[in-house]
Amino acid sequence: MGDEHRSQRQQCGDDERDQDRPASLASNDTRSSIVTGGAFASLLAIVDRLSRRLRTAHRVCRTVTLRLRFDDFTRATRSHTFPERTARTRTILETAETLLGNAHPLIETKGITLIGLSLGNLSSDGEGQLGLPVDRQHGLDAALDRVRDRFGSDAIKRAVLVGRYSGFTMPHLPD
């Protein structure tokens, strides 16, 4: 009975290994005040960091959630769920930028002190069917990950992030 029950759970995507793994990955940038242009730069750094962690853990996500805290300490969240699961930096970044752009009027009026992003609805990257069309973006992400693994996180970065304080990097335990 136990093996039959386990087999049914695996067919439904409820793998025992995923029960011990985090349900989401998150990161944020907190400052006394983040200017609007700085918010986009902070978002770039967060997306690069999270998408790399996602691929390193051999995971994919379906939901991107943006968290904002304003100067008056009120908060707002915006999220988007993809029809297909992904670990591609470009897809996650474009979605996060859209969410941030939609919140731009609110940011302009209230100011912003925290920008955070979480990737949810995680699953293993080897399960389920991949969406079409398959593009070459995965190769770029993999190459950047290899460079950063070999030479460190700051070895290669986006031009807008050069000279910006990237904060300290927290070590992550393997899943």
pLDDT at 2: 47
Share of the chain above pLDDT 90, in %: 41
Q: What number is the average pLDDT over the span 77-103? A: 94
Show Cβ contacts of residue 175 under 8 Å, excluding neighbours closer than 6 positions. Answer: 20, 21, 22, 57, 59
Burial of 54 (0-12, 13-18, 19+ CB in 10 A): buried
Chain segment 82-92, per-residue pLDDT in tens: 999 999 999 99
Give the residue with greater pLDDT, 172 vs 141: 141
pLDDT at 28: 83
Walk me through the domains of the chain, giving residue ranges and CATH numbers. Answer: 20-124+132-156 (3.30.1490.100)
Q: Are the C-beta atoms of residues 86 and 92 closer than 8 Å to each other?
A: yes
What is the C-alpha separation between 58 and 36, in angstroms, rounded? 33
pTM of model > 0.85: no
Sort residue 64 into left (φ over 0), alpha (ψ -120 to 50) or beta: beta
